[in-house]
Chain A
């Protein structure tokens, strides 16, 4: 059985990736299970999606504990424990990371003895509309790495999954997916079907008898206010809204009223975005009457920040 996990952020098309790959396997004659798993249903929140494919009916269910292939669309998730990117990875797991860094760098960083490949795919692109294409590219790469899905089947799967979005979107996704497929050709078929666990030798679950804790400890309460401020949900952002104060009319209430996270404060009739908590939903961009809020890819914004920081301390520009 193939067991494949996609990791990304809400809005990057991981569910779409799992569906494209699932449909491709199905068209190639496999029994399939594909599903997304998420907590906060928000753009930018960590999500993963998984695909199982086998020639026989599938009885396994739920999260994949020991994946044969892990695809990471957003490299910033790798060190986030809650994202679970590294969960259950063994030396037999092939990891594909969407990153412009070298494969050796990732191997050393993660101390991973199995194969790591990188696929430089634009997660943000220049246009916001390009975002979901990371999903198609990831699906295309995965399809090639399994070695059992042809380009023609991949194409058919994308057309069937994305038909409702119109010909132009299908075309862009097809191009991205096929580029990724071709980029992976030197590694075609390197993902191997994992084996079943054996009832003769297996790792014992470390079951314990749960002790009694009194309600001062065991009630699900946090006895303090405003703890959500401590959670830097700004890390979820894939697009950053930036206010162009030359065009801002200082009407002060539209963007801050519409912000679903209360992350725009108005100080002296000037709206200021709290980037620690802005999740990059882009509602303000859509609502601003004089169109004074621009969206740029977070990666690009971070690179510019870094340049500015280095310039300020006299380092390399």
Chain B
């Protein structure tokens, strides 16, 4: 075991290396590229066995990943943002093949307008694809989750591909102390891939992903995939326990931080949740009974665990780093559906949207969210959803618009 400083990207590469992957189909995209560069260097220098192939697009890359997985080898790949969306058709397709592999997604806001910094609309676009999803909040978690993800994906009760998600910049390019497990300990935990009847081979034709006409068979196959994903809940808990025994680190399906006597909870996913942890510490110092619940697993959604964690709280603030146009925060909707009709559900479930395109959420804003929550509980009125956006930020936008307007009148005359 070595404790050293690693970026989230390097931690993802270490996860793949320690899992002993055989094949890495790759395509570069900021802020993910460092992952495949790291793996390429290791494979090139002979430090790591396996084969890395650059494909001509993410669509082909995910196809290659699924196809290789269907031969029964261990596969790793990585992408981000527009790349994940470009591969979207194949995400749905390969999950239906029921051939397990692990894909790292480095979250980055989607176009338009184009950006490099993170939010979760990319990964949430893959929410219904059949890939399971683990969301990380530290570089250590990125490495650990990659090892856990192989166990989860390859378990005979699941056999679905898994996405491990980390936030661009906030994790991808940020170094933190990370414990790198010894190779033997990691291999012992991950084990070898027992591919059983997954054995697509040259000169031994099989048909994968056959056509079914008529809704009955189609419903059967789709629902079986859903049931496999649901199985992932219990399987994940087993693996997380075993991981804890091996390495001493707990990665529960939902992180519960200082929740025991909490009247109020923040709920959020990803690396920004560590900012919420910081705010919880400061609010506790000021006498608040407040905590944080952070789903690590989003698919399958740990509904029972969330119901239990949120039960009997006075108020819950869900902070979504995503936005579903015309609806609002995705996690807020999911929690509302999980809590609906339960007697002990918190009376106030307030929605906040923040951190879009990497927009910072300051500690003071978490304090203010807590205040809004308390006022809502006292008045019994749930506030309307709030975008974390300041007057100063609007002034900046107005300035940009003024410049664009001047340029239109000065340079765009010929177009008018």
Binding site for B on A (CB under 8 A): 19, 22-23, 26, 31-37, 39, 41, 58-63, 65, 196-200, 202-208, 210, 217, 220-227, 230
* B411 cross-chain contacts in A, Cβ below 8 A: 224-227
The answer for the CA separation of A60 and B272 in the assembled complex, in Å, is 9
Indicate which residue in A23, A61, A208, A222 contacts B394 across the interface (CB closer than 8 Å): A208
* B415 cross-chain contacts in A, Cβ below 8 A: 223-225
Contact A35 B173 (CB under 8 A): yes
The answer for the CA separation of A21 and B124 in the assembled complex, in Å, is 36
Q: With an 8 A cutoff between CB atoms, is B312 at the interface?
A: no
Q: With an 8 A cutoff between CB atoms, is B127 at the interface?
A: no
Q: How far is the CB of B221 from chain A (nearest CB, A)?
A: 41
Contact B177 A197 (CB under 8 A): no
Q: A217-B401, A220-B112 are in contact. Are A207 and B362 (CB under 8 A)?
A: no
Q: How far is the CB of B342 from chain A (nearest CB, A)?
A: 30
The answer for the CA separation of A198 and B367 in the assembled complex, in Å, is 9
In the complex, the chain A residue whose C-beta lies closest to that of B172 is: A35
In the complex, the chain A residue whose C-beta lies closest to that of B358 is: A62
Which residue among B272, B288, B363 has the maximum number of chain A CB atoms within 10 Å of its CB? B363
Q: With an 8 A cutoff between CB atoms, is B55 at the interface?
A: no
* A41 cross-chain contacts in B, Cβ below 8 A: 30
Q: A59-B277, A61-B274 are in contact. Are A207 and B389 (CB under 8 A)?
A: yes
Binding site for A on B (CB under 8 A): 5, 7, 30, 112-113, 116, 169-170, 173-177, 271-272, 274-275, 277-279, 281-283, 285-286, 288, 358, 360, 362-365, 367-368, 370, 386-392, 394, 401, 404, 407-408, 410-412, 415
* B113 cross-chain contacts in A, Cβ below 8 A: 220
Contact B5 A207 (CB under 8 A): no
Contact A59 B278 (CB under 8 A): yes
Contact B392 A225 (CB under 8 A): no
Contact B282 A197 (CB under 8 A): yes
Q: A22-B175, A62-B170, A224-B415 are in contact. Are A205 and B5 (CB under 8 A)?
A: no
Contact A199 B407 (CB under 8 A): no
The answer for the CA separation of A59 and B285 in the assembled complex, in Å, is 15
Q: Known pairs A26-B177, A61-B275, A199-B283. 11 more at Cβ < 8 A?
A: A22-B5, A61-B170, A61-B272, A62-B272, A63-B360, A197-B367, A199-B285, A208-B391, A208-B394, A224-B407, A230-B407
The answer for the CA separation of A217 and B405 in the assembled complex, in Å, is 9
Indicate which residue in B175, B275, B288, B401 contacts A33 across the interface (CB closer than 8 Å): B175
* B388 cross-chain contacts in A, Cβ below 8 A: 205, 207
Q: A200-B286, A205-B368, A217-B401 are in contact. Are A34 and B175 (CB under 8 A)?
A: yes
* B174 cross-chain contacts in A, Cβ below 8 A: 33-35, 61
Contact B5 A34 (CB under 8 A): yes
The answer for the CA separation of A202 and B283 in the assembled complex, in Å, is 11
The answer for the CA separation of A36 and B412 in the assembled complex, in Å, is 37
The answer for the CA separation of A34 and B5 in the assembled complex, in Å, is 9
Contact B5 A32 (CB under 8 A): yes
* B279 cross-chain contacts in A, Cβ below 8 A: 199
21 inter-chain pairs at a CB distance below 8 angstroms, sorted by A residue, are: A22-B175, A32-B175, A32-B176, A33-B175, A35-B169, A35-B175, A39-B116, A58-B176, A61-B271, A62-B169, A202-B364, A206-B390, A206-B391, A206-B392, A207-B368, A207-B391, A208-B394, A210-B387, A217-B401, A222-B407, A224-B411
Contact A203 B389 (CB under 8 A): no
The answer for the CA separation of A12 and B113 in the assembled complex, in Å, is 30
- Nearest 4 pairs of A and B residues by beta carbon: A224-B412, A224-B411, A199-B286, A59-B278
The answer for the CA separation of A199 and B362 in the assembled complex, in Å, is 12
The answer for the CA separation of A220 and B114 in the assembled complex, in Å, is 10
Contact B362 A205 (CB under 8 A): yes
The answer for the CA separation of A230 and B404 in the assembled complex, in Å, is 12
Q: A37-B169, A59-B281 are in contact. Are A207 and B386 (CB under 8 A)?
A: yes
Contact A62 B360 (CB under 8 A): yes
The answer for the CA separation of A298 and B391 in the assembled complex, in Å, is 39
* B389 cross-chain contacts in A, Cβ below 8 A: 207-208, 210
